[in-house]
Amino acid sequence: MAVRTWRFGHGRRRRHGLQGKVALVTGAGSGIGKATALRFAREGAMVGVLSHTESEIRETAEEIVRAGGKAIPLVADVADDAQMKAAVTGLVETYGRLDIVFANAGINGMWAPIDELQPEEWDRTINTNLRGTYLTLHHAVPHLKRAGGSIVITASINGSRTFTSAGATAYSATKAAQVAMAQMLAVELAKHKIRVNVVCPGRIDTEIQDNTQRRNTEEAKVPADYPEGSIPLTGCKAGTSEEVAELVLFLASDRARHITGTPVWIDGGQSLVV
């Protein structure tokens, strides 16, 4: 099957118009973050692509630049205050402003029964997913306040609609907190014309499941059988990173100008049955 390629600024007519906007995308080295960074760039945004893995984030930036877009790689651990401050400062110094933040970086971490989940495993998930989101916004919001803007946070169906992923207590807790954070900040930042929304994906074809650590989750599991698959729209077929990127693009754009404090589930109906 032929691979479809894009030239930023050419081909399909832009529908959302991010020309002149500057966006920060965390976790942009792969999966949903990378797909969204590419999508933002195709719509004309200048993108700061951030990850703690230098090789993958440089690859994302180079892919955007080769296609005629604008991007800079930002290497930082989202849980590190000094690194995130430097990354956001570097992006604003390069492009002069900040309009859009996609706080997407996160891990599944260790899934285990609560009495077996170790404090350091709990802390690692909390630090990356929740502290990382906090630090991203803590350093970005002062720049967004200058002219308003849009924040989108990646949460999950776990912790917001579904509570059946065996052993995923730490992960689900961070995802529930991200939804609450988005809704709190939607009110707090509205006077600055900053919108805050949250996407809640179900099963998506990213590498995060391959990197999930599990220990004795059978002990915490509640048996359930879905003979035709657990995703009503597609059966067993996961959604794609590109589908999530389209949703993030809409929420980040002016077409969603009256939407804030809203969680949007993108899961093919998965969270309605599991």
171 is catalytic: yes
* Partners of residue 22 on adjacent β-strands: 46
Decide the pairing of beta strands 100-103 and 110-111: unpaired
* Partners of residue 152 on adjacent β-strands: 102, 197
* Partners of residue 214 on adjacent β-strands: 111
From the list 95, 134, 171, 226, the catalytic residue is 171
Residue 120's identity, in one-letter code, is: E
- Cβ partners under 8 Å of residue 139, min gap 6: 84, 85, 87, 88, 89
Query: Which residues in 29-57 are b (16+ Cβ under 10 Å) and which e?
Result: bbbbbbbbbbbbbbbbbbbbbbbbeeebb
Rounded-to-integer distance, Cα 187 and Cα 191, Å? 8
- Cβ partners under 8 Å of residue 161, min gap 6: 200, 265, 271, 272
Residue 88's nearest CA partner among 80, 45, 150, 43 is 80
Instruction: Give the DSSP per-residue string, 222-250.
Output: -----TT-SBTTTBT--B-HHHHHHHHHH
Which residues are known catalytic residues? 171
